[in-house]
Chains A and B, each alone.
Chain A
Amino acid sequence: MPVNPRQHSFEPLIVAFCCNWCSYAGGDLAGADRLSYPAGVRIIRVPCCSRVSPNLILRAFQRGADGVVVAGCHPGDCHYDGGNYLARRRLTLLHRFLEFLGMEASRFTVCWISASEGERFAAVMTEITQKIWSLGPNRKLRDTR
Chain B
Amino acid sequence: MKRIGVFICRCGTNIAASVDIDVVVKAAGEMPGVVYAGDYGYLCSETGQAMIREAIALQQLHGLVVAACSPHLHETTFRRTAASAGMNPYLAEMANIREHCSWVHRDKQEATAKAAALVRTTAARVAHSRELEAGEISVEPCALVIGGGIAGIQAALDIAEAGYQVDLVERMPSIGGRMAQLDKTFPTLDCSSCILTPRMVEAASHPAINLFTFCEVEKVEGFVGNFSVVLRKKARSVDPGKCTACGLCGEICPVKVKSEFEEGLGLRSAIYTPFPQAVPAIPVLDRASCLCFNGSACGLCLKACPAGALDFEQQDELLEQKYGAIVMATGFNLLNMEGFGELAYGRHLDIITSLQLERLLSPSGPTGGRILKPSSKQPPQSIVFVQCAGSRDKSHSARPYCSKICCMYSAKHALLFKEQYPEAWVYLFYTDICTPGKGLEELYLRVEEKYGVLYLRGRVSRVTPGGDMLLVEGIDTLSGHPVKIETDMVVLAPAITARSDAAEVARLLGISTDNHGFFTEAHPKLRPVETRLAGIFLAGACQGPGNIPETVIQAGAAAAKVIGLLSYDLLVGNPYVSFVNESLCSGCLDCKEVCPYGAIMEKTIEGKIHGKNVKRRVAEVNGILCQGCGSCTVACRPGALNLNGFSAEQLLAEVDAICL
Q: Are B629 and A51 in contact (CB under 8 A)?
A: yes
Given contacts A3-B116, A81-B596, contact A44 B103 (CB under 8 A): no
CB distance from B431 to the nearest CB of A (A): 27
Q: Are B655 and A44 in contact (CB under 8 A)?
A: yes
Interfacial residues of chain A within 21-68, with CB under 8 A of chain B in the complex: 24-25, 27-28, 30-32, 34-37, 39, 42-48, 50-56, 59-60, 63-65
Given contacts A15-B655, A31-B104, contact A1 B112 (CB under 8 A): yes
Q: Are B103 and A3 in contact (CB under 8 A)?
A: no
Number of interface residues of B (CB under 8 A): 51
In the bound assembly, the distance between CA atoms of A52 and B633 in angstroms comes to 9
In the bound assembly, the distance between CA atoms of A4 and B116 in angstroms comes to 9
Q: How large is the interface on A (under 10, 10 to 19, 20 to 34, 35 or more residues)?
A: 35 or more
- Verify if A101 is at the interface (C-beta below 8 Å from B): no
Given contacts A4-B113, A51-B643, contact A90 B634 (CB under 8 A): yes
Tell me the interface secondary structure of chain B in the complex: helix
B417: chain A residues within 8 A (beta carbon): none
- Verify if A113 is at the interface (C-beta below 8 Å from B): no
Given contacts A39-B105, A51-B646, contact A5 B631 (CB under 8 A): no
In the bound assembly, the distance between CA atoms of A2 and B635 in angstroms comes to 41
B655: chain A residues within 8 A (beta carbon): 15, 44, 56, 59-60, 63
Q: Are A13 and B631 in contact (CB under 8 A)?
A: no
Q: Are B596 and A34 in contact (CB under 8 A)?
A: no
B114: chain A residues within 8 A (beta carbon): 39, 42
B118: chain A residues within 8 A (beta carbon): 42
Task: Identify which of A15, A35, A80 contacts B659 (C-beta below 8 A).
Answer: A15
Interfacial residues of chain A within 79-116, with CB under 8 A of chain B in the complex: 79-83, 86, 90
Q: Are B121 and A44 in contact (CB under 8 A)?
A: yes
B512: chain A residues within 8 A (beta carbon): 81
Interfacial residues of chain B within 613-660, with CB under 8 A of chain A in the complex: 627-631, 633-635, 643, 645-646, 648, 651-652, 654-656, 658-660
- The residue in chain A whose Cβ has the minimal distance to the Cβ of B632 is A50
Given contacts A35-B104, A37-B104, contact A60 B630 (CB under 8 A): no
B110: chain A residues within 8 A (beta carbon): 5, 11, 39
B70: chain A residues within 8 A (beta carbon): 24, 28, 31
CB distance from B107 to the nearest CB of A (A): 7
Q: Are A51 and B631 in contact (CB under 8 A)?
A: yes
- The residue in chain B whose Cβ has the minimal distance to the Cβ of A65 is B659
Q: Are A44 and B651 in contact (CB under 8 A)?
A: yes
- The residue in chain B whose Cβ has the minimal distance to the Cβ of A142 is B659
- Verify if B532 is at the interface (C-beta below 8 Å from A): yes
- Verify if A132 is at the interface (C-beta below 8 Å from B): no
- Verify if B612 is at the interface (C-beta below 8 Å from A): no
B596: chain A residues within 8 A (beta carbon): 80-83
Q: Are A34 and B71 in contact (CB under 8 A)?
A: no
B576: chain A residues within 8 A (beta carbon): 47
24 A-B contacts, Cβ less than 8 Å apart? Answer: A5-B109, A11-B110, A15-B659, A32-B99, A32-B103, A36-B106, A39-B101, A39-B105, A39-B107, A42-B118, A44-B651, A44-B658, A47-B576, A50-B630, A51-B630, A51-B643, A51-B646, A52-B634, A59-B656, A80-B596, A80-B627, A81-B532, A83-B596, A86-B631
Closest A-B pairs by Cβ, 6 of them? A31-B99, A51-B630, A63-B659, A80-B629, A81-B596, A39-B110
Chain B residues proximal to chain A, CB less than 8 Å: 20, 23, 27, 70-72, 96, 98-101, 103-107, 109-114, 116-118, 121, 512, 532, 576, 594, 596, 627-631, 633-635, 643, 645-646, 648, 651-652, 654-656, 658-660
